[in-house]
Structure formats: structure tokens, C-alpha cells
């Protein structure tokens, strides 16, 4: 089965509706005390925490998307449900993170969102929707149609490094525990200097989806997550929607080796083994890939 452009547009509107409704629920709970639990898998605290809001948001999203699964024979993969393997058998699947950035949510900090994507079985992102309930900002993209921010076309300006600009790097809070953290700080400053920026700023914040969206919203910027041997951390649903956004804006998205992200791997949903790299400017991506290679080979 092959989805037409009209069908993709209709499914995109369905995903937007689901993201809005789930986002409204999340916003309603943002000022309340919520119950927090932990998952057995996952390495960092951010990967382990789960709340009642994660589950309630997922229920809303699935209620809206399930009719499309019946009509178009789509599989479903969502963070708070077991992986039934249907994503490897059907032509397309929904990939859902009902509350990306649970840790900043329970800490009452910015950086959480609803993330919904439609992927082909080969992992190609066809639809990407990210909704920020805090600022009521919607990012969405449909393959071949472009990307939008709050219904306004989202395009990246030509990047010209300036000695008056600071180059921003974003990553997870847990990066401070990485043995490469001190050397990476030094390397980021060097990258900024070599590219002609005033300096570098490392922001330890937010969930994966909003960190990637910040790269598009406030260039020059880069979001990275280094590979790690421990199982856990980033999974398909953390990167699927934003991969579509980056493709449609011609921004750079890859693993930390510069290879395309594999968004429908067999055997696991985790992507800790390869890391991720989102950059508005490919020149920044090339520099950081080189830095990571040097740091891990020294």
C-alpha cells in the first residue's frame, strides 16, 4: 500500500489534532501535583521517570489515531506501550511520545512536548508533529510539502557566522556525568572560534523533541547526544517527528558518525549506540562529528 499526498495531508491533520488535545491535557496538569513512577529500563533519570500524565496523554492520542490505523492498516508504536513488532511488518506506523521531556515537566521547567510521527517501514519520516503546551507552539512537517511553525512556513535563513553571535549547543542534563564532558566544553568553544562566532554556549535542558525544535527556532544552534554503551535514553519516538522537520527544512540530522538515523531498527527501539546530531548548519555538524571522533579515539 502506498499513501497518496492527499492521504498524508489528512493523516497530518489527524496527528495535529491529537497533539493539540494531548497538549491541552498536559497544560492542565502542569500546575498540579502529579504522581511519578519509574521505569525499569533507561539509564538517566530523564529516561526512567513516568507520570500519570504520560499515560493520560497517550490515551487521548491513541483514541484519535486508532481509526486511521484501521482505515490505512497502520501500526502503532508509543513510548508507554509494549512494542508489538507490527512496525516491522506493516507499510507505515505511528510513532508517539505522549510526553517527551517528562523530567522538565515534573520540575516545572520548559522543554516538554507532545511528539507524533508517521514513519514508513524503512524508517523514512513522512509526518512530524511536535506541540509545546507551555508556549502553545506547533511545529509540523509533511514529506514533500515543507515544514511549519504555528501554521507559518518554517525555513532556515542562510547562515553567516558573526563575531556578534554566540553559537548554542543543546544536550541533556545527564551529559554532565559523561567522562567526555570537560573536553567537549573546550572543543565546543574551539568550534565556535573556528567558524567565526563570538563564543559557544552549552545548554543542558529539555527533552529531545524540543531541543531539536530549538535548533530550528533559534539558529545558529546544534543539538547533540553522544552514543553510550548503556541501554536506555533516546528511542525512535524521541527523534522521529523532528527528523521529518529537519528533512523538510534542509537542516542536518544524523547520528554522531554522520550517518542517517535508523528510525525503524529491529530488536530494539533504543538509539543509545549511535547518538544523534541536529544542526541548522551542516558546517557545524561536520565540526562536531570530527570532535567526537577525536575525543573517542584519543
As annotated, the binding site for Mg(2+) includes: 79, 97, 99-100, 238
What CA–CA distance (Å, rounded) separates 118 from 4?
Answer: 14
What is the rounded (10 degree) CA torsion for 50, 55, 57, 62?
140
56-84 burial string, b = 16+ CB within 10 Å, else e? bbbebbbebbeebbeebebbbbbbbeebe
Q: Are 234 and 226 in contact (CB under 8 A)?
A: no
What CA–CA distance (Å, rounded) separates 126 from 159?
Answer: 26
What CA–CA distance (Å, rounded) separates 290 from 13?
Answer: 40
Can you say whether the dihedral through the CA atoms of 174, 176, 177, 178 is positive or negative? positive
What CA–CA distance (Å, rounded) separates 79 from 27?
Answer: 20
Residue 282 sits at the vertex; the CA angle it makes with 247 and 221, to the nearest 5 degrees, is 90
Of 159, 165, 122, 136, nearest to 249 (Cα)?
159
- Backbone φ/ψ region at 78: left (φ over 0), alpha (ψ -120 to 50), beta: beta
What CA–CA distance (Å, rounded) separates 98 from 292?
Answer: 31
Binding-site residues from annotation: 79, 97, 99-100, 238
Cα–Cα distance list, 201 to 60, 140, 284, 288 (Å):
38, 27, 14, 14
Q: Helix, strand or coil for residue 90?
A: coil
Amino acid at each position: 500500500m502506498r499513501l497518496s499526498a492527499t492521504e498524508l495531508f489528512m493523516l497530518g491533520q489527524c496527528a495535529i489534532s491529537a497533539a493539540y488535545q494531548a497538549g491541552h491535557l498536559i497544560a492542565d496538569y502542569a500546575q498540579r501535583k502529579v504522581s511519578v513512577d519509574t521505569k525499569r529500563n533507561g539509564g538517566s533519570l530523564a529516561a526512567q521517570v513516568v507520570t500519570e500524565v504520560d499515560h493520560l496523554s497517550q490515551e487521548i492520542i491513541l483514541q484519535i489515531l486508532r481509526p486511521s490505523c484501521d482505515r490505512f492498516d497502520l501500526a502503532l508504536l508509543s513510548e508507554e506501550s509494549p512494542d508489538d513488532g507490527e512496525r516491522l511488518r506493516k507499510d507505515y506506523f505511528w510513532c508517539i511520545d505522549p510526553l517527551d521531556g517528562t523530567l522538565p515537566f515534573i520540575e516545572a521547567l520548559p522543554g516538554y512536548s507532545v511528539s507524533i510521527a508517521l514513519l514508513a517501514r524503512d524508517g523514512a519520516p513522512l509526518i512530524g508533529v511536535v506541540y509545546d503546551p507551555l508556549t502553545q507552539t506547533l511545529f509540523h512537517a509533511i514529506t514533500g510539502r515543507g515544514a511549519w511553525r504555528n501554521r507559518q512556513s518554517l525555513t532556515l535563513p542562510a547562515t553567516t557566522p558573526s563575531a556578534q553571535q554566540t553559537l548554542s549547543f543543546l544536550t541533556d542534563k545527564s551529559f554532565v556525568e559523561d567522562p567526555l564532558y570537560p573536553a567537549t566544553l573546550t572543543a565546543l568553544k574551539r568550534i565556535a572560534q573556528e567558524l567565526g562566532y563570538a563564543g559557544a554556549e552549552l545548554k543542558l535542558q529539555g527533552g529531545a523533541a524540543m531541543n531539536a525544535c530549538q535548533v530550528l527556532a533559534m539558529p545558529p544552534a546544534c543539538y547533540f547526544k553522544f552514543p553510550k554503551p548503556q541501554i536506555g535514553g533516546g528511542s525512535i519516538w524521541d527523534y522521529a517527528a523532528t527528523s521529518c522537520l529537519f528533512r523538510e527544512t534542509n537542516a542536518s540530522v544524523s547520528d554522531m558518525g554522520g550517518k542517517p538515523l535508523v528510525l525503524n531498527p529491529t530488536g530494539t527501539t533504543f538509539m543509545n549506540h549511535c547518538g544523534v546530531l541536529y544542526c541548522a548548519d551542516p558546517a557545524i555538524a561536520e565540526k562536531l562529528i570530527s570532535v567526537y571522533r577525536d575525543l573517542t579515539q584519543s
